[in-house]
Chain A
Amino acid sequence: MKPGGRITAIAAVLLLVCLAISAVAVHHLDRIRSQTEWDEVLYVPSPKVVKRLSLGYDGLLADVYWTRVVQYFGTKHHEGARDYQLLAPLLQITTVLDPQLTVAYEFGANFLAPQPPYGAGMAQQAIELVEYGIRNNPNDWKLYYNLGFIYYTELKDYGEAADAFARGARVPDAHPSLRVMAAEMAQHAGELQMAQMMWTTAYQSSKDPNVRANAIAHLRALQVDEDVTNLEKLISVYHQKAGQLPSNFFDLQAAGLLRALPLDPLGQPYKLTADGQVEVRDPDDFPFITKGLPSGYVAPPPRFRPSDLGSS
């Protein structure tokens, strides 16, 4: 081998060896410094300072911060975390950098408001975020809808919810259901039809597959809750008439209380337990249900069904 060729070969081998060693070192460093240590640091906490430091490229930086919000929430949500201390400050920086980034208000509020494990359990911060969004985007009816939604679902403050929907209904080109929701809220707040209307509007007003899948999952959960309530009422009627609990749903059919075997929204038959409770076959398929759960069941973080993510 020529001297030049030998040096080339040695240098190439050394390069590969050093690359391998550095990769192993980085891997080791990652193990020493836990992921939490990296995630829970906000180097510049002031939104105004971040905006100044952006040198006019605030739109780009807002996108970076929004991506960080999504990754932060996604990672913590996946881990089943109950503490999201950086979520609100990250969203504040994102929206100060780009006050027109409406996606940050819509999704951010939905990350903040729901109780753990579905969200951060920070409904008040979610309301502040959406109000800030409304001040900067007064003609975006979806923000009023989100505001009313948080008041309705998380705070059960139906008066404020009705007010938010009424404000949204006055915006040009607002979804027609806002006016209906504002009007119906006073009389039917807390009723199933109201909740169904809200989730249906959420489904119809978004093109995002995650939002639509979430709406479908909630609509299914509402259906299960209603089915279980109705079936347990029928079981109670049967119990009063027959003096004993039915052993299965065929007993209810035989007694003329039920026309057919009851199926859940995914087509699976409901289960009837020995103590007269109605349960779904696979509770993991129904995140957000409040009834029909086996006793002691601990819900995992909600996963949307792949078929729902592709729904149109």
Chain B
Amino acid sequence: MSNRIACIAFNTFREAVRDRVLYNLIAFALLMSAAAILVGQISIGIERLVVVNLGLSAVSLFGVVIAIFIGISLVSKEIEKRTLYTVLARPVRRWEFIVGKFLGLAGTLVVNTFFMAIGVFAALLYVTHGFQAADGWIGIALYFIILQFLMMTAIALLFSSFSSPLLSAVFTFSLFIIGSFAQDLRGFGAMAAGLSRWLATGAAYLLPNLSSLNLISSVAHQQAVSTQLILTNTCYALVYTAMAVCGSVLIFERRNLK
């Protein structure tokens, strides 16, 4: 079982890294990190801040774009090219296929983030001429960004398991936007009454809470991140990701592929 999942994951990774779009996006993210150095020079007193803010935002945004645009085509492309039938004709279960696809893209995003992070740290080193202990929190922010990618990949995969690539992209991107407003949605639920209160609160808990995973601004100010927050965010992101992958498996298991 694990061999089959690993095989699908590895092939998904190999297929993703062959995609030229991926390299263009990474190049853009690195370019933005480099541009942060120039932005710092036309402002006052934010040379370091702008490198961290712009660099990590670029990693996050471009990573989300990669997660969405590769994630939405993970299943549909296999169906379109009819390679899915070849795979499923072998002793591979449908859920193994979905889990393998998810792990393959997740691995691609982790590797991408690693390279983009090198760009951010290189720009930071250029500006500050040395690292401080507090710069280690940037690593935690990057870890949270990866958790965000896992959630977005799982959501993209969920939509990809039953919808067309275009609609999947629209749905996933919409959830990304709504997820960034998660705290506002909860606040709205607290202020509303009756049915609206239940609907808003229910939606706030069902939709991904991406705002709690965004610590870019705090680490840019070298503020410490509590262990409790790291553990809670890790737990939340992994559970939410598992939930979305389970949803994909449930849908894909019942999907008529004829």
Contacts and interface: CB of A to CB of B under 8 A. Distances in A.
Contact of A56 (B44, B54, B211, B223): B211
B207 interface: no
A60 B57 contact: yes
Given A63-B50, A70-B42, A100 B221 contact: yes
A67 interface: yes
Nearest to B210: A56
A210 interface: yes
A106 B214 CA distance: 27
Contacts of B53: 57, 59-60, 62-63
Contacts, number: 65
Interface string A55-77: 11111101100110011000000
Contact of A70 (B43, B216, B217, B221): B43
Given A52-B184, A63-B54, A103 B44 contact: yes
A55 B50 CA distance: 17
Interface string A103-120: 100110000000000000
A58 B54 CA distance: 11
A59 B42 contact: no
A67 B184 contact: no
Contacts of B184: 52
Given A55-B177, A98-B217, A70 B211 contact: no
A56 B44 CA distance: 23
Interface in B1-38: none
A208 interface: yes
A101 interface: yes
Contact of B217 (A58, A71, A210): A58
Q: Which interface class (under 10, 10 to 19, 20 to 34, 35 or more) fits A?
A: 20 to 34
A57 B216 contact: yes
Contact of B220 (A59, A71, A103): A59
A59 B217 contact: yes
Interface in A97-140: 98, 100-101, 103, 106-107
A66 to B, nearest CB: 6
Given A52-B181, A55-B180, A100-B221, A60 B216 contact: yes
Nearest to A111: B44
A63 B43 contact: yes
A101 B49 CA distance: 9
Nearest to A56: B214
Contacts of A63: 39, 43, 46, 49-50, 53-54
Contact of B44 (A55, A59, A70): A70
A60 B61 CA distance: 12
B130 interface: no
B216 A59 contact: yes
Contacts of B221: 100
A100 to B, nearest CB: 5
A239 to B, nearest CB: 49
A311 B214 CA distance: 39
Contacts of B217: 58-59, 62, 98, 100
Given A58-B217, A59-B217, A208-B45, 6 more contacts: A56-B214, A56-B216, A57-B61, A66-B44, A107-B45, A208-B44
Can you list the 5 inter-chain pairs with the closest CB atoms, starting with the nearest? Answer: A59-B217, A103-B45, A56-B214, A67-B43, A55-B180
20 contacts: A56-B211, A57-B53, A57-B60, A57-B61, A57-B214, A58-B217, A59-B49, A59-B217, A63-B39, A63-B46, A63-B53, A63-B54, A66-B43, A67-B39, A70-B44, A100-B223, A103-B44, A103-B46, A107-B44, A107-B45
Interface of A: 52, 55-60, 62-63, 66-67, 70-71, 98, 100-101, 103, 106-107, 208, 210
